[in-house]
Amino acid sequence: MKRRQFLVTASAAASQAWAQANDRVRVAVVGVGSRGTAHIKEMLPAGNIEVAAVVDPDGRRAEAAAGIVLKATGKPPKVESDMRRVFEDKAIDAVTIATTNHWHALTAIWAMQAGKDVYVEKPVSHNVFEGIKLVEAARKYKRIAAGGTQRRYWGRFRKAVETVHAGAIGEVYQGNFFFPGNRDSIGFKETKAPPSWLNWDLWVGPAPMQPYHENLVHYNWHWFWDFGNGELGNNGIHLIDLLRWAMKRTMPVRVHSTGGRFGYKDQAETPNTQNVTWVFEDGAMMLGQLRGLYTAEPMSWDLFGSKGHMHIMADGRFRVTLGRNKQPEPEAEYPPDIDHFKNFADAVRARDPKILQAEIEETAISTAYCHLGNISFRLGRDLKFAPEAMRFIADEEANAMLTRKYREPYVVPERV
């Protein structure tokens, strides 16, 4: 190769490498349990996304996650137990959050205040107040913020919603969902000193300080009110979000929830069986059923309209029956899925939240349905809600449960 040709080729290669590096989204993953590890594995092949840091108060998990990145890329990420040190790093562009539920909103707010874009796993908040503040922070700091309601990215579910929006079943007056958790007893664990590999103060974070026990770390924290939101917040959020999207609904005006923890006695606090009804101003409704005990019935959704009925299966395939016909319409052709982390990174590069399939406000509204249902369950009564004020009507006991008392310095601020 002639020297001039070599120099031109080398210059072009250098320019391309610079452009790619300049276009790269450098991400910190906060919370690297099963879901955070899935974030890492899904981002690595997504294209021009660098997992630059991993954060977890469990040192074992942080080191294991760093090992996954190193093996895949040859480059070790920064490893931290305290997310605040990562937020100080100006080289980090974005943060994905897969912590315990009670840390979701505060992690995202701190990250956005530090100039980072955020992808927040569902439920995006631990209470209604946090969801409001999360959206306020995204707007104030002009951040790209996405929620982890992934069914909005799947082609089959997008096609189902498009079909409903096109009027295939007429005016939708009711949406139902069913979720089978198939959960066994978690038993009882005695309190003990936290293990050496865990920063217990950071893990507890915004919640009241309390003794460590092994039913909290890890996973089973979902079934304790200080940290989780029960099955309604754990998986119900996905089913709520799809129905709300299809029905084009914002907040309800009434909610009623019943249920309990049946079949065994254990340490958990949240119900393993829960039925919730959300009612809208025009009388239309959404009904959810979550069953933790044994059933052969699969997860599903049903939408009822003035012209017909849509049944959506767990994998997103759906069938429509019209009028009194018993034969469903022919199965639709489904568009391809959208990679949700690529979608997030594309929005970050373009600085355009409209690119997002699950912008944070949509997931925050769906998450609020979970909180309203749980408040009704815990109080044992029907509740009336004012969507404009985002408060219950003439019920201060219920309104007090829209937020929580935070433990310093882990406080979700009134003014973000």
Q: pLDDT tens digits, residue range 241-285?
A: 999 999 999 999 999 999 999 999 999 999 999 999 999 999 999
Residue 195's pLDDT is 98
Structural domain total, the chain: 2
Measure the CA–CA gap between 303 and 326, rounded to whole angstroms: 16
Q: Is residue 209 part of a domain?
A: yes
Average pLDDT over residues 202-222: 98
Peptide bond into 126 cis (omega under 30): no
Average pLDDT over residues 147-160: 97
Same domain, 115 and 170: no
| Burial 258-267, CB ≥16 within 10 A → b, else e | ebebeeeebb
Residue 8's pLDDT is 40
Question: Which of 112, 132, 150 is a domain's end point?
Answer: 150
CATH of the domain at 389: 3.30.360.10
Place of tokens 């315990």: 100
Instruction: State yes or no: pLDDT of 192 exceeds 50.
Output: yes
Containing H/E element for 313?
A: strand 308-313
Average pLDDT over residues 24-34: 97
Residue 384's pLDDT is 98
3-state SS string for 210-261 = CCECCCCCCCHHHHCCCCCCHHHHHHHHHHHHHHHHHHCCCCCCEEEEEEEC
Q: What share of the chain is helix, strand, coil (3-state, %, to 5)?
A: 40, 20, 40
Q: Is residue 65 part of a domain?
A: yes
Same domain, 185 and 230: yes
Share of the chain above pLDDT 90, in %: 93
Containing H/E element for 83?
A: helix 83-87
Containing H/E element for 373?
A: helix 360-379
Measure the CA–CA gap between 171 and 247, rounded to whole angstroms: 9
User: Domain of 34?
Assistant: 3-150
Same domain, 123 and 158: no
Average pLDDT over residues 132-153: 97
Q: Is residue 374 part of a domain?
A: yes
Same domain, 44 and 129: yes
Measure the CA–CA gap between 14 and 22, rounded to whole angstroms: 12
Measure the CA–CA gap between 123 and 71, rounded to whole angstroms: 31
- Bridge-based pairing of strands 94-97 and 25-30 is parallel
Same domain, 297 and 175: yes
The token pair at 395 is: 């019920």
Same domain, 110 and 161: no
Contact in structure between 147 and 360 (CB atoms under 8 Å)? yes
Share of the chain above pLDDT 70, in %: 95
Q: Is residue 346 part of a domain?
A: no
Q: How far is CA 297 from CA 244, 294, 314, in A?
A: 22, 9, 11
Q: Is residue 351 part of a domain?
A: no
Residue 397's pLDDT is 98
At 240, is the pLDDT very low, low, confident or very high (cuts 50, 70, 90)? very high
Exposed, middle or buried: residue 17 (CB in 10 Å: 0-12, 13-18, 19+)? exposed
Residue 21's pLDDT is 53
Q: Is residue 343 part of a domain?
A: no
Q: Is the dihedral of CA 366, 133, 24, 351 positive or negative?
A: positive
Instruction: State yes or no: pLDDT of 332 exceeds 60.
Output: yes
Same domain, 183 and 236: yes
Contact in structure between 50 and 24 (CB atoms under 8 Å)? yes
Q: Is the dihedral of CA 131, 137, 138, 140 positive or negative?
A: positive
- Bridge-based pairing of strands 254-260 and 300-305 is unpaired
Measure the CA–CA gap between 340 and 39, rounded to whole angstroms: 10
Same domain, 159 and 275: yes
Exposed, middle or buried: residue 269 (CB in 10 Å: 0-12, 13-18, 19+)? middle
pLDDT tens, position by position, 104-140:
999 999 999 999 999 999 999 999 999 999 999 999 9
Contact in structure between 373 and 258 (CB atoms under 8 Å)? no
Instruction: State yes or no: pLDDT of 200 exceeds 80.
Output: yes
Enter the pTM of the model: 0.94
The token pair at 207 is: 């919640």
Peptide bond into 409 cis (omega under 30): yes
How many CB atoms neighbour CB 379 within 10 A?
15
Q: Is residue 234 part of a domain?
A: yes
Instruction: State yes or no: pLDDT of 314 exceeds 50.
Output: yes
Same domain, 139 and 287: no
Residue 91 is classified by DSSP as: T
Same domain, 238 and 279: yes
Residue 16's pLDDT is 41
Instruction: State yes or no: pLDDT of 237 exceeds 70.
Output: yes
**Terminal Cα distance for the chain, rounded:** 59
Strand partners, 254: 279, 384
pLDDT tens, position by position, 10-26:
433 433 443 345 689 99
Q: Is residue 70 part of a domain?
A: yes
Same domain, 370 and 221: yes
Same domain, 308 and 269: yes
Residue 6's pLDDT is 37
Question: Which of 122, 150, 178 is a domain's end point?
Answer: 150
Residue 47's pLDDT is 84
**Over the chain, what is the mean pLDDT?**
94
User: Residues 6 or more apart from 196 whose CB is under 8 A from it?
Assistant: none
Residue 78's pLDDT is 98
